[in-house]
Amino acid sequence: MEDNEAERQGSLSQLYLAVIQRYKSYIEDQESISVAELPTLVTPNNEKVAAKAKEIMDDFDHYTYESGFYDASVEALAFVRDRIADATLPLQFWLLPADTLTFGMGDVVDKCVLLCSLLIKLGNPSAKVLMSIRDSTRSVFVYYEYNSKLYLLDIRDGIKELADREAMLKELGIDDNSTAYEFNDKMYVDIV
């Protein structure tokens, strides 16, 4: 009986993939988002994001931004890295943080948008998603400022403390030969 259900689920997944492939162009046209609209993806006040941020805060005896944010950011990064599975769809499709939480999966952009949303809800409005493209390779990170320091969060490599924004751009190899931009729920800025 379980084999039949597994076979059925496999066939259903193949059917979904066939539908997606057939309508890929249409879906991508409808899913296109301008760079100015990227801030709409960061949703710290979404109910599911707020609930996850509260779970993280509840892991601390008496969470306060001043004394607990850094540790909460480490926990948020660990959650996104360890509990949100990698999923690359065969088309460009933007997931909102609530979707990423609901399905427990997303690509690196989806994960970074979720992480940024969580960090803002944990009390740090300086959190931003940073994307850079160099030689057709896209890299995505999250960073924030806290206690006069800058912290760079990489979904794969963890968290790194840097002296300032200039040090971060140098660390990431972002220069005049790169395309880079950053955004959060309130803004979008081209870096280079």
Cα 77 to the center of its chain, rounded Å: 10
Residue 52's pLDDT is 98
Residue 26's pLDDT is 59
Residue 9's pLDDT is 82
- For 11, counting Cβ atoms within 10 Å of its Cβ (0-12 exposed, 13-18 middle, 19+ buried), the class is exposed
Identify which of 157, 58, 150, 69 has the alpha carbon closest to the alpha carbon of residue 112: 157
Distance CA 181, CA 165 (A): 13
Residue 27's pLDDT is 57
Which is it for strands 179-183 and 188-190: parallel, antiparallel or unpaired?
antiparallel
Distance CA 186, CA 142 (A): 15
Distance CA 180, CA 175 (A): 9
Residue 171's pLDDT is 94
At which residue do the structure tokens 């997931």 appear? 95
Domains of the chain, with CATH numbers? 39-190 (3.10.620.30)
Residue 65's pLDDT is 97
- Listed as ranges, residues in the chain with pLDDT below 50 are none
